[in-house]
Amino acid sequence: MDRIVITGMGVVSPIGIGLEAFWKSLIEGRSGACLVSHFDAKNYACRIAAEVRDFNPQDYIERKKTRRMDRFTQFAMAATKLAINDSGLDLAKEDPDQIGVIVGSGIGGLTTLEEEFTVLTQRGPKRVSPFLIPKLISNMAAGEIAIEYGFSGLNYAVSSACATANNAIGEALRHIRYGDAQIIVCGGTEAAITQLGISGFSQAGALAESYNENPEKASRPFDKNREGFLMGEGAGIVILETEEHARKRNARIYAELAGYGVTDDAYHITSPSPEGKSQAKAVVMALNDAKVNREDVNYINAHGTSTPINDRAETQVIKNVFGTRATSIPISSTKSMTGHLLGAAGGVELIASVLCMQNKTAHPTINYETPDPECDLDYVPNHARDQEITCFVSNSFGFGGHNAVLVAKRYNGAN
């Protein structure tokens, strides 16, 4: 079976747009947290988030096209352009029928929904935009990418809450293996820092609400004083292709995407199963799919949300899978810096992990200040660390019990 490789990566994040800026912030342990600027949040219990700053959609999309796109689609379009440029693909030489797109969003166009509902209630139904539905539906990021580049291969969106991007990338891996495409643009995108988004997650008890005066300290995965996650936004897009195709065009290959595991807790709409059995099963499935032994894994990018239950459960999952080795595997939470990008998280975190592999460095989990006896593994606290990474696991677990795990390996040339 032909190996599947990553040849391009594009990221739009609260800690940087583009690989260079993103990596610099990662290794420096820079937080993207700030006071919410998208709306007046002074009366909200949580007034902080991790926003993408200095983003101009017209740097990536024609001006007139931006008006028909919600912010989550704009992020996806920008990250896709960055990923395609990074891949070195000459699209004029490619068969568009062999290029697919699988890009998901956990929530979709929440900004558009809020804006147009206000129009409806204040000005009446005749004033609602004809672009309402095309802007808000979560599949439109994938659709717009295909339209922009003429990709006529398989195309759909995944929506599995915080597991969305990992599911999208994992399904892309399978499609290429099945011979459905030679190249797939895949990942996740999200822009839910809105009045409803913040209110809903806050009322569900999911957000950190005690750090409004100190936003950069709010996201503190695995720390004893964590209380909830920090809302983030952005997009993470990768280009997957067959090894044969990549080598034929002399592409730079970042890594081999080798394994994918997917399960559901079947337990609770928002809380993970405390024993972590289904999550552990997803990790084992991904390892088996990648044909790697547990001893081969020397880095983990954790789901690491900074919520009391999730971090405790994920720690148990890692112990369940790796046994006595669990304490010796470096574990990073990218969310400590980016906040929780919901449906985009897995894409951004896969890119972070590949960059760590490329640079032989484990990025830090910032704000790890007070150890929690129930979270007692090596979370690479506060400072980046030199680390040889040859095989990593990247976890994503979502509301609804969705679990999606990816495994990637260092690419060492053709077999």
The CA distance from 157 to 101, in Å, is 8
The CA distance from 135 to 209, in Å, is 31
Exactly one of 46, 162, 186, 356 is catalytic; name it.
162
In sequence order, the 6+-apart residues with CB closer than 8 A to the CB of 297 are 287, 322, 329, 391, 392, 393, 407
The CA distance from 336 to 320, in Å, is 24
Cβ-contact 307, 225 below 8 angstroms:
no
In sequence order, the 6+-apart residues with CB closer than 8 A to the CB of 46 are 198, 201, 202, 207, 208, 209, 212, 231
In sequence order, the 6+-apart residues with CB closer than 8 A to the CB of 105 are 72, 76, 138, 141, 157, 159, 164, 188, 189, 190, 343, 344
Active site includes 340? yes
Active site includes 34? no
Exactly one of 175, 245, 303, 402 is catalytic; name it.
303
Q: Are strands 99-104 and 155-156 parallel, antiparallel or unpaired?
A: parallel
The CA distance from 179 to 241, in Å, is 11
For the four alpha carbons of 126, 129, 134 and 135, in that order, the dihedral sign comes to: negative
Cβ-contact 306, 220 below 8 angstroms:
yes
Active site includes 46? no
The CA distance from 30 to 15, in Å, is 7
Exactly one of 175, 186, 245, 340 is catalytic; name it.
340
The CA distance from 229 to 238, in Å, is 25
- What is the chain's length? 415
Among all residues, which ones are annotated catalytic? Answer: 162, 303, 340
